[in-house]
Structure 1
């Protein structure tokens, strides 16, 4: 029976991404990448070479990083900060505004783009895993083969972790799309949604395999190559998110990250000044090679700072008030810059002669983005210890919380009870990790989203009155995907 491997990089559909708002096409693919579809299907009896295995892994990284920058460098901030109380949408993009204002529907261009981008990466990763696992070339040693599979499975877990947190139940596809003489492409790609619990089980299985096979953090060639530091960080975050939360596991995997030798930078501003990339605090950092300081290197920065046109993800009044109430001038000044853009455009929330913009993207040519960093892990460990009722400043939750506070010149926390520490850690995470894509997911996993967003306020403490309802805690399934795949169901309420 003849079999054909379909390069269905979006898995469920064959699409061309439709990008709303500002975008540029960048020539930034690394040399040596090949497309998985150019290699004979191993199911048909052909085995790939060791060289082709390396090229497949390179292609999987390329598809997720360089081709996927609009998710990892842009939409993570919209979803994590503008959908939460850290930012307003800013810009002139209706899709961003709908996400910010909780009026999005299944036709939202950003929602469709996010779904498509994540499944695009999963499609290429699945092909990589399938072909490498069946490779028989003696030049591909068992150790190297498992390392490639570990890195690929960690990449797949990262994409599914984004999907399950944004949509809940999602199609769980762990094999490449293959058609035969008796199986059509529709039968291959028309996959129903799997329960979120099953998706988390798959994520954990991928990460457990990965952590046993990838390089250690110190051995990895760069911060963007999957290594034990990144994988243990993901495991800690997954166990803090999946229901029920497993705080012993969170604590265990935070300790594993700590053991990998990461340290806080002595100056918070070093993280964003462009002079300390791939630092001791950075765990997972994507470097967009070849962007340089010319036009292509600067356009990411132009999304957030600079004059000429409305900027994306304007800092909110609530966030500014939170910095000010804490007396946190160090992180306020590193995170936000104030500009006078009078007469250039009109902002609905701020006066144009004193407009706040994100300052964390200012450093150098802005060719690197930190996805995970060590401060997140220290605060996550503080949270785990709080839930395990280990609160004291000697080695408990207060100790790790104070490490973050003391770095920016703040006094030790005054929170001493479990309830008070929960809120203190939540606030510390907001101030420490603002504009890095964390806030929405922190509120989601702690069950605080509705309360916080319903109390959001603009200038003069006027209520924003976001029309947020419980069903809007998840994105709608894109209508185009449902039209193509009748086995998909919509999230309730949409």
Structure 2
């Protein structure tokens, strides 16, 4: 453990003496730091470990990919975000600095990993593949959040740099696919070394996700959809559906998981290598503190804690209405705390239940599952339906429905009806897994739904832009930047 902490501390030193560029209001890495650090393969692989910590911190939020959708209603405690309220301006805009820091770290690994000698060529290729995967994933996160974004492909090691403008979304998508294709070509094994690290199946999953966005949001057409069908099959290699739905979240990296970001109480450190006593997965924002549910008749069934939990949100009525009683995902997704008189105390997430430590409290340490098999099956169904290959889409859809014990799709076999059902099935299956807002945008752009009719706060704002604004301070730092259209 001491060696591990020292490694994390060294990584932290490099992280905090390096960043991306003036455009992001951070410091460039010095040449002294670069020359003294990047010497051996252990420098590369150790730095990658730090990148995964940074990646986990960057995506451990519902703000970008859930809050703006229709997943949440107000919970018991205040804390509704500006994204949920659709109250977004250049004054309160979220900042992309953290994501560009992550990209900068990937750029460093790609630059120095290519020139450092490794004793084993497979280890070098795997490290580079992971860096390209994480860079692609981060740009995809940026693309879905802000639309046009700057593309930075070199580490910033001098302050004598040009300040990039926002690149068009199609160009950003090209870069994402270039990175993910390079990752696929570099991974030395076809399967997994560790599901908490990127792999070739994870790269195929990301590529499928990106291709569907390209097809539906960026007018990529049937070519992107046909390729998504192929890459979905490639992403499914080596995984199988869990027989029991709750097992997906109670088991670390089970048979269904393709890629996850690891959480564990005894594996959480700050930038100085000091153990963090409390660092919770984002699901804690839909959990109650003990004081709210202590008198509930079903208190023993509710995941609560003394600290960390904050029931800012509740699963929305719209989401809950999608379930039939036979659906095994219903009880595994939300729970209603009931008072002795039969009234409702609160409604809480039941998917990410954390772990009770008898000597302490409940810790919200469920992994962030980035990709799992059920989603890839639904991706394939979505691509097939968009291609008007409706019977094939229904075959894929039924695989997920039957695991949920709700039987085969009973509706009419039209393209619109099946696409609508796939969207609803993704809501039931992937609730709170950071999927809903991108799903709504894809199906809106494809004409299946009108997103302004689906999200109450969005519809109430009129023609609210679907991408985030950037802070005015970013434009002040870099006059080559323009504000997101509509703000």
Please give the range of the TM-score, normalised by the shorter of the 2 chains: 0.7 to 0.9
Cα offset for 1:86? 1.2
Aligned to 2:420: 423
Tell me what 1:31 maps to.
none
1:270 corresponds in structure 2 to 247
Deviations 1:188-235 (A, max 9, x none): 262211111111111101100101112546341x21211011100000
SS in 1 for 2:227: helix
Within the alignment, does 1:213 sit opposite 2:186 as a pair?
yes
Shift of 1:322: 1.8
What's the counterpart of residue 231 of structure 1? 203
Superposed, which structure 2 residues align to 1:366-377 within 5 Å? 366-367=364-365, 368-377=367-376
Q: CA deviation at 1:89?
A: 5.5
Q: How far is 1:366 from its partner? A: 3.4
Partner of 2:23: 12
Q: Per-residue deviation at 1:37?
A: 5.8
Would you say 1:400 and 2:405 are equivalent positions?
no
Q: CA deviation at 1:57?
A: 2.2
* Alignment-derived partner of residue 167 in structure 1: 146
Q: 1:251 to 1:399 in 2, by over 3 A?
A: same
**1:129 matches 2:102:** no
Partners of 2:125 and 2:188 within 8 A in 1: no
Encode CA deviations 1:87-124: one digit per residue, 9 max, x unaligned.
13647666x43211211112226x12xx1221111111
Identify which of 252, 256, 277 aligns with 1:281.
256
Structure 2: tracts of 5 or more residues without a match: 1-15, 269-275, 292-308, 356-362
Q: Distance in 2 between matches of 1:131 and 1:78?
A: 33
The number of equivalent residue pairs is 430
Structure 2 residue corresponding to 1:99, chosen from 62, 83, 89: 83
What residue is the counterpart of 2:408 in the other structure?
Answer: 412
Structure-2 separation of matches of 1:341 and 1:128: 55
Indicate the residue corresponding to 2:228 in structure 1. Answer: 250
From 73, 85, 93, the equivalent of 2:70 is 85
Which residue does 2:41 correspond to in 1? 50
1:472 to 465, 475, 478: 465
For structure 1, the residue ranges without an aligned partner over 5 or more in a row are 17-34, 180-184, 343-350, 458-462
TM-score by length of 1: 0.79
Q: What secondary structure is seen at the aligned counterpart in 2 of 1:202?
A: helix
Q: Is the 8 A contact 2:196 2:260 kept in 1?
A: yes
Which residue, out of 326, 335, 338, partners 1:337? 335
- Residues 490/478 of structure 1: CA separation in 2 closer, same or farther (3 Å cut): same
Distance 1:188 1:431, change over 3 A: same
Aligned to 2:486: 493
CA contact (8 A) 1:6 1:177 kept: no
For 1:122 and 1:327, how far apart are their aligned partners in 2?
44
Paired residues for 1:357-372 under 5 Å: 357-364=348-355, 365-367=363-365, 368-372=367-371
